[in-house]
Chain A
Amino acid sequence: MAAYITHPALSSLSKINCNINAIYCFISFSRRISISSNVLSTSAVTTESEAAGRGVRGQRRSKRQAGEPRTERMTVDQDWTAVYPTAASFKPSTVPLPVRMGYPVKRGVPPAKKGNLELMKIPNFLHLTPVAIKKHCEALKQFCTEWPSALDSDEKCMKHFPIQVQSKEFVSAGLSLQNPDARIVTLKVKLSSLNLDDHARKKMIKLCEERYCKDTDTLTITTDSCPLRQQNYDYAMYLLTVLYHESWYIDWIVISF
Chain B
Amino acid sequence: IVSSQLFPAACFRNIHCTAACLKNRAARIRVGKGDKSVTYEQAYHPHHIGHRKGWLSQHTSNLQGEDGAAERVVEDVFIRRFMYGTFHGCLADEVVIKRRGNLLVICAVMIQKLLPSKFYFLIGYTEELLSHFYKCPVKIEMQTVEEKVVYKYL
Contacts and interface: CB of A to CB of B under 8 A. Distances in A.
A240 B68 CA distance: 37
Contact of A89 (B52, B141, B148): B141
Interface stretch (A130-138, A141-149, A167-175): A167-175
B84 to A, nearest CB: 15
A173 B61 CA distance: 7
A206 interface: no
Given A115-B145, A174-B68, A5 B116 contact: yes
A51 interface: yes
Contacts of B44: 103
A117 B115 contact: no
Interface in A60-118: 63-64, 66, 87-89, 91-93, 102-103, 105, 111, 114-118
Nearest to B69: A174
Interface residues of A, number: 37
A255 interface: no
A89 B66 contact: no
Interface string A114-125: 111110111100
Interface string B96-112: 10111110010101001
A116 B41 CA distance: 10
A91 B141 CA distance: 9
Looking at A93, A103, A121, which has the most chain B CB atoms within 10 Å of its CB?
Answer: A121
A89 B98 contact: yes
Interface of A: 1-2, 5-6, 8-9, 51-52, 55, 63-64, 66, 87-89, 91-93, 102-103, 105, 111, 114-118, 120-123, 171-175, 177
Given A64-B115, A173-B61, A174-B72, 13 more contacts: A51-B115, A52-B115, A89-B107, A103-B52, A115-B149, A117-B94, A118-B53, A120-B109, A172-B68, A172-B101, A173-B60, A174-B102, A175-B136
Interface of B: 39-41, 44, 52-56, 58-61, 66, 68, 71-72, 92-94, 96, 98-102, 105, 107, 109, 112, 115-117, 120, 134-136, 141, 143-146, 148-149, 151-152
